[in-house]
Amino acid sequence: MKLKICGMKYPENMIEVASVAPDYMGFIFYEKSSRYFTGTIPQLPSSIKKVGVFVKASDTEIIQKINYYRLDAVQLHGDETPMFCKALRHQLKRTFPLKTIEIIKVFSVGNTFNFDQLMPFQDHCDYFLFDTKGKLPGGNGETFNWQLLEHYTFTKPYFLSGGIGLENIEALEKFKNKAISKYCYAIDVNSKFEIEPGLKDKEKLQQLKNTL
C-alpha cells in the first residue's frame, strides 16, 4: 500500500520527510487552508510524486501550478463535475504530451455514502480519494466508517484518507486483510502527523511507513 503525505508547507521539512520515502507529497493551493502553500519546493527524489491539491480552481490556475511546480498529479477537492474532469484531462494531455499528469478526484464520506455518484467520473480520473466529510475540504482529523467501502463496486483504485494516525495502525492492518481493501491503492495522511499545520513529524511518519 502506497503512502501520500499531504499538506506540506516548509522546504526543510519536505527534505526531512522525503527521507521517509513516501510515494506522494501533497501541496495545498487553497487560500483558506492553514496549510496553504506559496513557497518553493526543494529538489525531491524522482520517486516522490508531487500532488497539487485544488478546491474549485480553474483549469488555467491548475495548469499554471503544474508548470511552475512541476507537479505530477492533481487532486480535485471541490465540487468539480465529471465534465470539468473530462475537459481537464484533455487539456492536460494537450499541454503536457510527454508526461502523464494523474487526476485524483476527492469525495467526502459522511455517515452514509452513495457510491453510484462515482460512475460519471470513472473515465475522467485516475484515482478516487475518500475523505471524511467535515467543516473543511480536508484536514479535519476524523476518520469515517471504512465498512462503508463494502458498497464500493468499482475497480478504480482509490486513496483512503481522513484522520489516519498512529492510533489507526491496528485498524489499518485489519482493513488490509479484508476484501474491501482490494482496490485501496494508498493511504493519505495529514493532520495526525503534524507538529503544527504544515509541519510534519518525521519520526511518526517513519513509524507509519514501517507498517505499510
What are the structural domains, with CATH classification, of the chain?
2-209 (3.20.20.70)
Q: Which amino acid is at 150?
A: E
pTM for this predicted structure:
0.95
pLDDT digits (tens, 9 = 90+) for 116-133: 999 999 999 999 999 998
Nearest-Å Rg of the Cα atoms of the chain is: 16
Write out pLDDT tens, residues 131-163.
Answer: 998 666 555 568 999 999 999 999 999 999 999
CA distances from 17 to 12, 38, 180 (A): 9, 18, 29
Return the C-alpha cell found at 125: 480520473
d(C-alpha 86, C-alpha 159), whole Å: 20
Q: What is the pLDDT along the chain (212 residues), one digit of tens a residue?
A: 999 999 999 999 999 999 999 999 999 999 999 999 999 999 999 999 999 999 999 999 999 999 999 999 999 999 999 999 999 999 999 999 999 999 999 999 999 999 999 999 999 999 999 999 866 655 556 899 999 999 999 999 999 999 999 999 999 999 999 999 999 999 999 999 999 999 999 999 999 999 98
DSSP secondary structure letter of residue 137: S
Side chain identity at residue 46, one-letter code = S
